[in-house]
Amino acid sequence: MTLTRRHLMSGAAALALLTALPASADGHAPLKVAGIYTVPVEQQWVSRIHIAAEAAAARGDIEYTFTENVANTDYPRVMREYAESGVGLIVGEVFGAEAEAREVAADYPEVAFLMGSSFKEDPALPNFAVFDNYIQDAAYLSGIIAGAMSETGNIGMVGGFPIPEVNRLMHAFMAGVQETKPEATFQVSFIGSWFDPPKAKETAFAMIENGADVMYAERFGVSDAAVEKGVLAIGNVIDTQADYPNTVVASAIWHFEPTLDAAIAAVKAGEFTAADYGRYSFMDRGGSSLAPLGTFEDRVPQEALDLVAEREAAIMDGSFAVEINDEEPKSS
């Protein structure tokens, strides 16, 4: 891994900030936290972790530093370097380095690891907790809107990899679409990358040429194709409507703050253990939401808005649950 000038600058800025940080609200010294990311922090999924960590640092709860663009083959080494440096909590994603990451965690039992993972926690490795963005609630609601906005009923869906974290969101979105467009058909494709906007864009172009008039933008690049071809898009994880005001109708937003805050509290209390933090991404925990419709506020049919409000209320009070389906989705 090559340290970029940007990373060196961010590290220097972080050190300057940390010298001025007050004690956290509970009176303890800030917990040292490191983020390790395989993609740039602008990438939508990682950006949510990064934003939550920066917020915790601004409160004085943690000291935060990070390294981005770490190759999977280099990931264990970077983990060891941070563990050796004295951090108390390491946050990241190990989808491509599961076994190696757990081996590193076993060598540093005094360090807490909170990692995005497709696998569950292991009680034999008590310092390694897992999470995933279970934002199927918000994805389902965005699907209701997508179905109402589609004229052809042909929906294109471009994802990164067919792993549970992606699959469950796609299935929830599809279920929402079918609430307002029962006859809808779906084109589903995975680009084999977490960050390849040109490839995602080309894949989206092909789907639009094949009749899709609404695109599910699980990856960056899809909304760019939608803009160029004059079709609509639904965002995922972050709200990009400001960048695509006449294209992105709605977005399912992930809020990592509840997940990270729970882990920070557990580490500080000496109670961090092997656990699945995925539940903190559910809507009723504040871990996800449907972004404001903004420029599309008056363009979505009222019947769809009413159904969204009804389902959201039911999700929040526990009377309705969106199905969690981790199987790979297929084209219709």
211: left (phi over 0), alpha (psi -120 to 50) or beta: left
Structure pTM? 0.86
Q: Residue 15: what pLDDT? A: 40
pLDDT beyond 60 at 60: yes
CA proximity to 234, closest of 219, 211, 215: 215
> What beta strand segments (E) does 192-278 contain?
214-217, 232-237, 248-254
Could you read off the pLDDT of 67-123 as tens digits, one per residue?
999 999 999 999 999 999 999 999 999 999 999 999 999 999 999 999 999 899 999
Q: Residue 2: what pLDDT? A: 34
Could you read off the pLDDT of 147-174 as tens digits, one per residue?
999 999 999 999 999 999 899 999 999 9
